[in-house]
Amino acid sequence: MKRQLILPLLLSLPFLAISQDKPSYQIFDAKGKESSYKELLKAAGKADVVFFGEEHDNPIAHWLELELLKDLFAEKGKDLIVGAEMFERDDQIVLDEYLAGLIKEKNFKDEAKLWSNYQTDYKPLVEFARENGLPFIGTNIPRRYASLISSKGLEGLDELSAESRRYIAPQPIEVDLSLPGYKSMMEMMEGHGGGVTENFPKAQAAKDATMAWSISEHWKKGKSFLHFNGSYHSNNQEGILWYLDKYAPKAKTLTIGLFSQEKIDEVAEDNQGVADFIIVVPESMTRTY
C-alpha cells in the first residue's frame, strides 16, 4: 500500500517543479546579459549615489527597494543616506521630526503630503530609516511650484519669494529640451499650444534639478546616498543624473531601472541600455494600486 502511494508522488515531482517555476523578476546588466542581485549589490556598494528607478505601483520594486536598503545599511551603516522623489523639500521638517521621534505618526501623516500608496509602498522604507537612525531626505520640488512652471513656465518662479525659492534648485534652472527624455515629452504634448508644450518638460526638468540639488546638498565623499524615484527620472543617465553631474560631478553613480515586460527571459528592445542594472518583472504582476 505504501509503495502504491509513494510511486505516484515521486512521478509527480518533476511536474510540480516545472509548474512552480514562476520567477517574479530577472536582473540584467546594461548590455542585456543576465545578472543577479548579488552583482547588483556589489556594484551599489561601490557607488556614491544609487538611483533605484521604480514603477510606482509595482510590488516587486518596493520589496527590492527595501531589501537593497537593508543590505546597503548592513555594509555602510550610518554612512548611508536615504532620499526619495515621493517626499517634497518643504515637508523635510515634518519628516525629520517624525524620524527623531518628536511627533506621532498621525501628525506626520496629517501634515506631510504623502502619496496615496505611502502606507503599503514607502512606509517600510521610512520606518527602517527611523529604526536605524538614518537620515531620510525629501528631495522633490513642492508640487505647487511644478504646477506653476507647467502653467507659466520657469519665469513663473520669479514671482515667488526668496523663502519659497529655497525649496527649488538654484535659479535660473538650465533646461536642455533636446535631451531625448524631454523631447519625447514635448512630442506627447503637441497640440496643447506653443509655450504650454514646452512648459511640461520644463516642469519635469525642475523636478529633476531639485532632486539632484537635494542629493548634492547632503552627499559628501565617504557617504553613500540611496535614492528612490520613478525610472523615467534616471533612465539613460538623463533627468536627475544630468543635473547631478553639474552639482556634484565627482559623485560616482549607479542606476537601476525596473520595468514590466510580457516575457522576462530577456530585456525588451525599448528597455535595453537604459540603466546600469535592469530589472524586468512580468506584466501580469499584481499592482499595489
- DSSP H or E stretch at residue 4: helix 2-19
Instruction: Render pLDDT for 88-127 as a digit per residue (tens, 0 to 9).
Output: 999 999 999 999 999 999 999 999 999 999 999 999 999 9
SS3 80: strand
Instruction: Look at residue 15 in the predicted model and tell me its pLDDT.
Output: 43
Determine phi and psi for 274, rounding to 5 degrees.
-80, -20
Q: Which three cell numbers stand for residue 155?
A: 519665469
Residue 5 falls inside a structural domain: no
- Look up cell 519659497; give the residue: 164
Residue 95 falls inside a structural domain: yes
Residue 154 falls inside a structural domain: no
What range defines the domain where residue 211 resides?
A: 23-141+205-282
160: CB partners within 8 A, 6+ apart = 145, 148
Instruction: Look at residue 188 in the predicted model and tell me its pLDDT.
Output: 84
- Report DSSP letters for 158-184, one per residue: GGS-HHHHTTS-SSSPP--TTSHHHHH
Q: Is the pLDDT of residue 66 over 90?
A: yes
The predicted model gives 216-238 an average pLDDT of: 97
Q: Is the pLDDT of residue 45 over 80?
A: yes
Query: How many structural domains are present in the chain?
Result: 1
Q: How far apart are CA 30 and CA 256, in angstroms?
A: 9
Residues 86 and 118: beta-carbon distance below 8 Å: yes
Residue 54 falls inside a structural domain: yes
Instruction: Render pLDDT for 197-225 as a digit per residue (tens, 0 to 9).
Output: 899 999 999 999 999 999 999 999 999 99
Instruction: Render pLDDT for 5-17 as a digit per residue (tens, 0 to 9).
Output: 554 444 444 444 4
- Residue 43 belongs to domain with CATH number: 3.40.50.11550
Instruction: Look at residue 192 in the predicted model and tell me its pLDDT.
Output: 58
Instruction: Render pLDDT for 247-257 as a digit per residue (tens, 0 to 9).
Output: 999 999 999 99
Q: Which three cell numbers stand for residue 99?
A: 524620524
Residue 174 falls inside a structural domain: no
Residue 262 falls inside a structural domain: yes
SS3 115: coil
Q: How far apart are CA 136 and CA 155, in angstroms?
A: 31
Residue 270 falls inside a structural domain: yes
Q: Is the pLDDT of residue 190 over 90?
A: no
Residue 173 falls inside a structural domain: no
